[in-house]
Structure 1
Amino acid sequence: MSQDSEAYYNAQELAGLAGMPETRSGINRLAKRNNWPYRPHSGRGGGREHPESCLPKETRKILIKRQMDALDTDIANLKLKKKALKRCLKKLIHMD
């Protein structure tokens, strides 16, 4: 995965996941102790975001599973929209 497309996560997103401490402060201590790379978090509250590649394998597995589940949901929603558009198109064709 290239650096440009790699997912980054802040301490709040990581807290409590498999292989991670339960708290944001625990995540921040672990990141500092292990010299995880980071970039400034641009969202509200600031802080740091860490790339997926520096996280423990068990944590990455959870995050990838969540991404896959989100894609499955997106695909299901697109299929529903496609069906609705087909119905609208059929109605328009029969109006002529």
Structure 2
Amino acid sequence: MPCTNPHSRTLDETQLTNLSRHQMHEHGRHKCCQCAYNSGYDQGFALQESIRLDIDALGDSQAGADGRHRSVHQAFALGYSHGIRDYINQ
């Protein structure tokens, strides 16, 4: 079942499959990498210095298109990096 949260930005499958496999039960299992990416992106674009990945706020997902079994931590970090890049290049 895919995540039902809206995603303002969506990673393509290539970027999702490059994320590490990650199945730690209390640290992002079956959570949406697209949600994590968007959270990181928004914080990066805002140049937030105290960043936070709120795993409980991420959508639940069992779908491959949402980065099933991939690291939400890496998706968040990638989003943060892309957000900073886009802020600098605007």
Higher Cα Rg, which structure: 1
Q: Identify whether the pair has TM-score above 0.5, normalized to the shorter chain.
A: no
TM-score by structure 2 length?
Answer: 0.32
Choose between structure 1 and 2 for higher RCO, CA contacts under 8 A separated by at least 6 residues: 2
Q: Identify the structure with the greater helix proportion.
A: 1
